């Protein structure tokens, strides 16, 4: 469960106003404090000091009730903000808490791609009347960047003036040129952007269950659409997770490194790994490095990503991302998963699976071996092996396995299984297993036999 309260600042002279929001036993609040007119977001509960949180993904905003309360706090606090409802495909602009403009979203990032924008609280980072995209090689009129490579903008066009096709998308929120200009004129840099999409609502599907015998010390088996838990043992126990860590590594690499960027392998990254492939001083695109990372559990690729941003910063970003996803009991000490300090719980790893499934399905596609080509082309590595055990199965959506002395055998796997006459995405997390392949196979067989 995510514990949140929000605070943001307005100019000196405004009285501090504190609003409490009760949400499943925790508080969310909006404060006004003068500090250079910068909006700040905090997390914490009502009994402890707030901790700073960078603007970014807030999966709780996939819950309509939570989203509505956050929006109402902004409105009642007379805030300026932008609401991007990716379910109803609407952009709404608020000034001093009043709705001043509503326009249609024409296109958004494709679901399951790197360019799908997850629910969260962002802010307008920069504005350009006509931004040139180095990724799509197109001009984007009335561009407003709100999260790294994500923009709100008008209809893109090529340097020769030809507009892009209806199906073209680099993942941004696209408006008509007229609507984009009207929004551009109304919002300033620093304005919060609340992105909402109904990802995690329960859809009413129900199950009954009878447990099988498993060797894993901790596990959870649950439906990613309605959160129904079939099986759980020691779901809150913190234990080493080994190379499951690399799913989080892929998330951070994809969000903070341009996937087209060439990265040089440092000498320090050439370490023991299952399939040695990388050589010091050779360069590979970030996109290419994701394949050995996720298919062959390459420690070399993990360390190359971490070294590129600086190991300390990369690990810090991993821990920040984990907390933003809701992995409150998890902590990480390296990008490869080698260290015993890479700790999580079955319940936290279910949250990770849910986040990747809903927002970064690209990662699961790579890890399953089903994704062999993309907008970036085919991977440059040849003869890659899939060490994730179930890579040859058509119903394996994706996941990651690992093994260390401290962790035993571990796995996070997602399957599409036909249960009760309907195909369902099922997450299986196994930690501290004596034979993780056998445990996962038992669970899949049990689900097929009973549902």
Catalytic sites, residue numbers: 243, 246, 297
Pairing of strands 173-174, 150-153: parallel
3-state secondary structure of 324: helix
- Name residues whose C-beta falls within 8 Å of residue 15's C-beta, 6 or more positions apart in sequence: 32
Angle at which helices 299-309 and 245-256 pack, to 10 degrees? 40
Asked if residue 290 lies in contact with residue 393, where contact means CB atoms within 8 angstroms, the answer is no
Please state, in angstroms and rounded to a whole number, the distance separating the CA atoms of residues 92 and 103: 7
Asked if residue 248 lies in contact with residue 360, where contact means CB atoms within 8 angstroms, the answer is no
Angle at which helices 361-368 and 245-256 pack, to 10 degrees? 120
Number of residues in the chain? 451
Distance (Å) of CA 377 to CA 112, 285, 350, 374? 17, 11, 31, 5
Please state, in angstroms and rounded to a whole number, the distance separating the CA atoms of residues 367 and 291: 8
Among residues 362, 382, 364, the alpha carbon closest in space to that of 374 is found at 362
Please state, in angstroms and rounded to a whole number, the distance separating the CA atoms of residues 413 and 60: 23
Q: Which long-range contacts (CB under 8 A, 24 or more apart) does 370-378 make?
A: 370/398, 374/287, 376/259, 376/260, 376/285, 376/287
| Core vs surface per residue 25-57: b (16+ CB within 10 A) or e | ebbbbbbbeeeeeebbbbbbeeeeebeebebbb
User: Residue 128's beta-bridge partner residues?
Assistant: 143
Among residues 47, 48, 18, the alpha carbon closest in space to that of 33 is found at 18
Among residues 138, 142, 114, the alpha carbon closest in space to that of 126 is found at 142
Strands of 243-391 (E only): list them: 262-264, 283-285, 343-344
Q: How many CA atoms lie within 13 A of 236 on its CB side?
A: 2
User: Residue 287's beta-bridge partner residues?
Assistant: none
Cα dihedral 48, 51, 57, 58 in deg (nearest 10): 10
């Amino acid at each position: 469960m995510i514990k949140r309260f929000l605070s943001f600042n307005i100019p000196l002279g405004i009285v501090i106003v504190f609003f409490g929001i009760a949400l499943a036993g925790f508080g969310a609040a909006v404060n006004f404090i003068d500090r250079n007119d910068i909006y700040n977001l905090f997390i914490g509960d009502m009994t402890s000091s707030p901790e700073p949180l960078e603007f970014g993904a807030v999966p709780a905003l996939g819950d309509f009730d939570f989203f509505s309360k956050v929006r109402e706090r902004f409105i009642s606090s007379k805030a300026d903000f932008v609401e991007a409802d990716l379910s109803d495909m609407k952009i709404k602009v608020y000034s001093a808490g009043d709705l001043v403009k509503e326009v249609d979203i024409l296109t958004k990032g494709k679901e399951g791609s790197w360019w799908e924008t997850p629910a969260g609280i962002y802010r307008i980072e920069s504005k350009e009347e006509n931004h040139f995209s180095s990724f799509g090689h197109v001009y984007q009129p009335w561009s407003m960047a709100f999260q790294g490579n994500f923009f709100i903008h008008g209809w893109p066009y090529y340097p020769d003036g030809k507009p892009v096709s209806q199906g073209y998308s680099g993942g941004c929120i696209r408006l008509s040129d007229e609507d984009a200009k009207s929004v551009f004129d109304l919002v300033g840099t620093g304005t919060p952007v609340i992105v909402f999409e109904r990802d995690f609502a329960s859809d009413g599907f129900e199950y009954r269950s009878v447990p099988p015998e498993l060797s894993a010390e901790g596990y959870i088996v649950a439906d990613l659409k309605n959160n129904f838990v079939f099986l759980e043992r020691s779901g809150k126990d913190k234990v080493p997770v080994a190379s499951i860590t690399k799913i989080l590594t892929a998330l951070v690499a994809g969000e903070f490194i341009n996937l087209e960027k060439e990265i040089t392998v440092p000498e320090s990254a050439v370490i023991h790994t299952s399939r040695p492939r990388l050589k010091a001083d050779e360069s590979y695109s970030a996109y290419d490095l994701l394949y050995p990372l996720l298919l062959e559990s390459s420690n070399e690729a993990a360390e190359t990503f971490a070294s590129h941003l600086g190991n300390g910063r990369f690990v810090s970003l991993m821990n920040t991302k984990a907390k933003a996803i809701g992995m409150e009991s998890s902590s990480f000490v390296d990008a490869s998963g080698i260290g015993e300090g890479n700790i999580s719980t079955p319940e936290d790893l279910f949250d990770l699976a849910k986040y990747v499934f809903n927002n970064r399905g690209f990662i699961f596609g790579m890890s399953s071996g089903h994704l062999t080509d993309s907008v970036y082309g085919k991977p440059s590595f040849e003869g890659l092996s899939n060490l994730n055990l179930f890579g040859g199965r058509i119903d394996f959506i994706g996941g990651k396995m690992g093994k260390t002395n401290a962790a035993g055998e571990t796995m996070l796997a997602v399957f599409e299984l036909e249960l009760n006459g309907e195909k369902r995405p099922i997450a299986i997390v196994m930690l501290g297993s004596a034979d993780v392949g056998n445990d996962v196979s038992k669970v899949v067989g049990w689900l097929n036999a009973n549902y």
